[in-house]
Structure 1
Amino acid sequence: MIRGYLIILMSFLVSACSFVKWQAVNLPARFYNGSEINKIVFDPKNNLSLMITIPNDKNKAHFKKMPVVVFYYGGRWSGGSKEKYRFVATTLAKEGFIVVIPDYRKYPNVKYPTYQDDAAKALAWVYRNIGQYGGDPDKLFVSGHSSGAHIGAMLVSNKEFLNKEGLSPSIIKAFVGLAGPYDFIPQEPDIKDIFSKVRENDYAAMKVSTFVDGDTPPMLLLYGLQDKIVYKRNVEKLMEAGKEKDANITYKYYEDMDHIDIVAALSWYFKDKKPVLKDMTNFFEKYNSD
């Protein structure tokens, strides 16, 4: 009964939903005993801000310095907000990570690659400022779900975006993507319009597979085999490209998860019942020790 109710709530992660429903999903996060600092402006010109969630002393005690996860939320490149993913931040913070969730501009107000530049600007801000909040900029990780996984993966693989900020993907220790559309040709009218500036060569300029190489930070692709929104071939094509170009990319499939389940696994009810959180943190900690 409880599980069914929560799945209904989590289904709103990829669609419009009411304020009340999002409050219910994030209710336990409001009782988190660490620190949250919201609405930190990283781009005054476009009024873009980010939210930082900091572990409490008990949860961060086993780290000499606190590693940082920057999480990009999904929403078909057209919806979502950092506040709606507070549950992701508190779950990861309880594992000892400082978590940063930035907002970015969305379609139809902007198209690719404008929002990608927003994401790069946010990451650059984190790298240069997170030390003030107890984070270690040399232990910087990136993650994301759905379209947010695409955003994060493009930052990791395409040097152009961070180069504009005077940085490179080498500042990122590792990336974990949840149900990301890494290599596809847009079919729906709105998605075609979002990527209308890069139609050449079957949209090569928006495919993560185009850019991965031996310099790409380690990537872990997590995917639920019941996903009917983002197809498995996105993982397969990126894995193939990684193998051809000597990139460090691994993957894991979950037999019983769909597009929503994989991020719902980070919510308060499922985090101890599903392996997603453990797989993410194990991967981060593997490279946190380097």
Structure 2
Amino acid sequence: MGLFLAGCASQAVDLITPRSGYTLSQDLAYGPDPRQRYDLYIPDGATGQTPLVVFIHGGSWDSGSKDIYRFLGQAFTKEGFILAVPNYRLYPEVTFPAFVKDGARALAAIDTALLRGVDGVPGGRRPLALMGHSAGAQIAALLAFDPHYLLEAGSTPRRLSAFVGLAGPYDFLPLTDPRYQRIFPPATRAASQPVRFARNGGPPALLIHGRADETVAITNTQSMGRAIEAAGGSVEVELFDKVDHIGPIASFVTAVPLGDPAIRRAVFDFLKQRS
């Protein structure tokens, strides 16, 4: 499972992922940098009311790509969602908070494109949810709960109908790894912690974590859940036995049995109730 998103394994999953039932538009620009591109998965028969989910990929803020997530696009379109997967600039090209600002810029551009209509899909002010895995969950959580990012990008957190965080680092100070110390400069570290921005006005949140996760401590999700609850916000915390760090995202592979399908079902049920 730990090798799922690496090298040949991700290529193999891509090859066996069904190509029917949706269309894929690749490398749509939301900014001038080559990393400022997104892919858009649109289910057959989509309308101006088809709900949209923006997914922020993981990769320790220094790696990762939208290109390996066809399986996620297939799973979401099968359930009646449009899925957008943006890339964002990575360390060492940038440090925090540049990749969060890229996420905000991507979300605003994607929302605007779907509002106007794109690739034959009628425009409409559709439900918009935000989801992230690992480092992407940290980025997505800041977009959902620290209002200034989306406001600066021309959007607003009020536009979000839901937030889903998979195995996210939300409360990870102090930093002891020199690599992360470089990614998060000292003057910005406090602002990098989503737990500091938990508030009543944020979107309803679903936080998922595996009890066997040895990459991101489960205490991150527990801490974020407590903070949102203490602030009077809406949050559901789901912890899964025998699930590692990759397990929550691997659960969306439908071509072969990877991960715990209960995770996939929990996410779709949560999103559909808020679409």
TM-score normalised per structure 2: 0.92
1:40 equivalent to 2:28? Answer yes
Give the structure with the higher percent helix. Answer: 1
Matched, 1:180 2:168: yes
8 A contact 2:248–2:260 mirrored in 1: no
Change (3 A) 1:164 1:27: same
**1:124 maps to which residue?**
108
Q: Does 1:285 align with 2:265?
A: no
Identity level (%): 31
* 1:272 positional shift: 9.2
> What displacement does 1:197 show?
4.5
SS, match of residue 17 in structure 2: helix
Equivalent-residue separation in structure 2 for 1:183 and 1:272 (angstroms): 25
Q: In structure 2, do the counterparts of structure 1 residues 173 and 267 end up closer, same or farther at CA, with 3 Å as the change threshold?
A: same
Offset, 1:222: 0.6
Of 248, 269, 275, 2:234 maps to: 248
Match of 2:224 among 221, 232, 238: 238
Say which SS state the counterpart of residue 53 (structure 2) adopts. strand
Kindly provide the amino acid, as one letter, of the partner of residue 233 in structure 1: T
CA distance in 1, matches of 2:264, 2:226: 26
Gaps in structure 1 of 5+ consecutive residues? 1-6
Q: Residue 51 of structure 2 aligns to a residue in which SS? A: strand
* 1:137-175 superposed Cα distances (whole Å, 9 cap, x missing partner): 440000011001111111000011011112210111001
Which residue among 247, 253, 263 is the counterpart of 1:261? 247
Q: Rate the CA distance shift 1:263–1:272 in 2: closer, same or farther, 3 A.
A: closer
Deviations 1:195-240 (A, max 9, x none): 11445xxx32111111111101111001110101111110121122
Q: How far apart in 2 are the matches of 1:91 and 1:108?
A: 32
Determine the structure 2 residue equivalent to 1:85.
69
The letter for the 1-side match of 2:147 is K
Compute the displacement of 1:29 (Å): 2.7
Bigger relative CO (Cα 8 Å, ≥ 6 apart): 2
Shift of 1:30: 5.4
User: Once the two structures are superposed, what CA deviation does each residue of 1:99-144 show, in whole Å capped at 9, x if it has no partner?
Assistant: 0000000011100000110000000001111131336444000001
Residue of structure 1 aligned with 2:19, choices 5, 16, 31: 31
List runs of 5+ in structure 2 lacking aligned partners: none
Residue 151 (structure 1) aligned with residue 139 (structure 2) = yes
SS at match of 2:221: helix
Q: Distance in 2 between matches of 1:137 and 1:179?
A: 30
Aligned length: 269
SS at match of 1:31: coil
RMSD: 1.9
TM-superposed CA distance for 1:46, in Å, is 5.5
Displacement of 1:96 in angstroms is 0.4
In the alignment, the residues of structure 2 paired with residue 271 and residue 69 of structure 1 have an alpha-carbon distance, to the nearest angstrom, of 22
> Alpha carbons of 1:165 and 1:24: their partners in 2 closer, same or farther (altered >3 Å)?
same
Aligned-partner SS, 2:54: strand
Counterpart amino acid of 1:39? D
Deviations 1:75-102 (A, max 9, x none): 0001111011121111111100000000
Q: Which amino acid aligns with 1:100?
A: A
Query: Who is 1:192 aligned against?
Result: 181
